[in-house]
Amino acid sequence: MSYRRTKAVFIKELRHIVRDSRSLLLALAMPVMMLLLYGYALSLDVDNIPILIHDQDGTAASRGLIRQFQGSRYFQVRGFGGYPEIQRGIDRSSILIGVVIPRGFGGDVADGRAAAVQLLVDGSDSNTSAIAMGYAESVVQAYSAQAHVRGAPPGRAAPAIDARMRVWYNSSLQSRNYVVPGLIAVILMILAGQLTSLTIAREWEMGTMEQIMSTPLRPTEMVVGKMLAYFVIGLVDAAIALVVGVSVFSIPFRGNILLLGFSTCLFLCCVMFWGIFISAGARTQVQAYQMGILTTFLPGFLMSGFVFAIDTMPKTLQILSVVVPARYFVTILKALFLKGVGLHVIWNQMLFLAIFAALVFLRAVSKLKRQKVA
């Protein structure tokens, strides 16, 4: 491979990128736009759940339970009423849960018997409903434990088990702390794949590819030169995404910045070589764009573990996700941002990215060689 010819391809492609100011501006502004859009819109936190309470008991015990709901940050008491009000609220989606405290609740609590509380939940959104039910049950159980301690005889006020929970790495349990690092990986995969998937297809459409094939330029030099030009843009995008994630969303970064930079370079090589491989097999930019979207956006968003846990997917999708680079980069970013781990923990993910980049590079070079011979 000739350094001089590779440098010439790099400078040529870089000049083309700089001359197309609108595309360059879009490529640099896209990470900010997507991070702000998805970072604020895509939230998995379930807070301020609207509830309506039907207190049939009217005792000090039932009022104590109501205060537990009012004092929880997970619930917002929208009012009080009966079953008709609860039904209307659920039908109109103004409340998610109706809490019914039956008659005799206070007496059961005072006598140490099991006290029942009815929860009427809107199940149209199954995931949110399941989380809300868990929060409501925890509030009721916490109140039950307090009532048991207050009603226990002297000398036996302490419960048999005192479980105390401590959350590591994301103590506030905010979804943005793990959504935004994963979002950075997905954004880079989409942008890097789309930028490089059009580069050779554009040469075919413009009619310049035949001229390039007739020169002494080798396929290896073409692939490396074109990739390096977009690699510079990818690094700038990665830096922008990192700054926005840390400064705007206040995402903690506990890892090594050099390790983050090296893993980002590996990931960009994977995706950009894949984009060039797609572009080498497409004769039009439309074909390249469609294949780029199909092989970067959908796998990156759905099969990377960014939003949906891979362990809960069907077995077929779990197997397919093994060859999705974003899956490994999402793991690396979450480990570096939240846990601050070192190379001894994420070396296997980085090894896969290196192997994937090498294999795709060889495939892209092989495809261009066949086209040059033909």
Determine the pLDDT at residue 150. 58
- Contact (Cβ atoms closer than 8 angstroms) between residue 198 and residue 229: no
Average pLDDT over residues 329-343: 90
- 8 A C-beta contact, residue 103 and residue 57: yes
Q: What would the mean pLDDT of 278-304 be, rounded to a whole number?
A: 85
Q: Is 227 left (phi over 0), alpha (psi -120 to 50) or beta?
A: alpha
> DSSP strand E in the chain: where?
49-55, 75-80, 97-101, 118-121
Using a 10 angstrom Cβ sphere, with 0-12 exposed, 13-18 middle and 19 or more buried, the burial of residue 127 is: exposed
pLDDT tens digits, 257-286: 999 999 999 999 999 999 999 988 887 888
- Listed in sequence order, the residues at least 6 apart from 266 whose beta carbon sits closer than 8 Å to its beta carbon are 350, 353, 354, 357
Structural domain 49-151, CATH architecture: 3-Layer(aba) Sandwich (3.40)
Average pLDDT along the chain: 84
At 294, the pLDDT band (50, 70, 90 cuts) reads confident
Looking at residue 251, what DSSP letter applies? -
- Sheet containing strand 75-80, edge to edge, reads 75-80, 49-55, 97-101, 118-121
Structure tokens at 76: 């917002």
Q: What pTM was estimated for this model as a whole?
A: 0.79
Question: Half-sphere exposure of 68 toward its Cβ, with a 13 Å CA cutoff?
Answer: 20
Residue 112 tokens, joined: 């140490």
Residues 6+ apart with CB under 8 A from 99: 51, 52, 53, 54, 69, 117, 118, 119, 120, 136
CA distance 98 to 85: 9
Structure tokens at 368: 């261009």
Q: What distance in Å separates the CA atoms of residue 307 and residue 289, rounded to the nearest whole number? A: 24
pLDDT for 50 beyond 90: yes
* Candidate from 106-115, 318-327, 335-344 with smallest mean pLDDT: 106-115
β pairing state of 97-101 and 118-121: antiparallel
Rounded to whole angstroms, the Cα distance separating 252 from 119 reads: 37
Q: 159 falls in which pLDDT band (50, 70, 90)?
A: very low
For the chain, the straight-line distance linking the first and the last C-alpha, in angstroms and rounded, comes to 21
Kindly state the helix (H) or strand (E) to which residue 281 belongs, with its residue range: helix 257-281
250: alpha, beta or left? (left if phi > 0; alpha if psi -120 to 50): left
What's the average model confidence in pLDDT over 104-115? 80
Q: Where are the domains of the chain?
A: 3-43+174-373, 49-151
